[in-house]
Structure 1
């Protein structure tokens, strides 16, 4: 049975029905950002985290979390400009 929880990303209350601690809205946002990053890296495989963050307006923390979660791999894992 679904239970109310606070989303770890946006802090809104949602009905917890999955294994994720994020609301549906934040899950969708994260998936869209992941796809944007993946597509960018196909064209710019040597881009740094800082460059990806600046070009796509996605926080470094979000990119780093995707790397830490194993969803994303970058050639240059250092936070530095090209």
Structure 2
């Protein structure tokens, strides 16, 4: 259900439902910035994040956020990369490397099974 929030960028009030906490006007601006970065890294796959930021006038932090959200993808040979939030391995997008993603998924499945099993038991007295 939508709720009234302040835009993180311009502080205007807007109806928020999902995704980044920014209004439609700021979202359109951010989408335009994303497109500039996407085209730049496609055309210059060897560029660093500093070069991409300088040429597109898009802040480095926003470029990293695009990568973390999985919106922006770069080639395997690109010097632009993130670190896995769990083990620190070099990754191209997202928050976790493949190995940690699999481990987290298995941990969640195990936790779900444990929770399901505990609901099936009689309460202890």
TM-score (ref. length: structure 1): 0.80
Structure 1 runs (4+) greater than 6 angstroms displaced: none
How many residues are aligned here?
77
Q: CA deviation at 1:2?
A: 4.4
Decide whether the 8 Å contact of 2:46 with 2:79 is kept in 1: yes
Q: Which runs of 5+ in 1 are unaligned?
A: none
Residue 10 of structure 2 corresponds to which residue in structure 1? 10
1:20-66 Cα deviation digits (max 9, x unpaired): 32100111111111111111122101111000000111100110110
TM-score (ref. length: structure 2): 0.55
Q: Which has the larger radius of gyration?
A: 2
The aligned runs of 1:38-77 (5 Å cut-off) are 38-74=38-74, 75-77=78-80
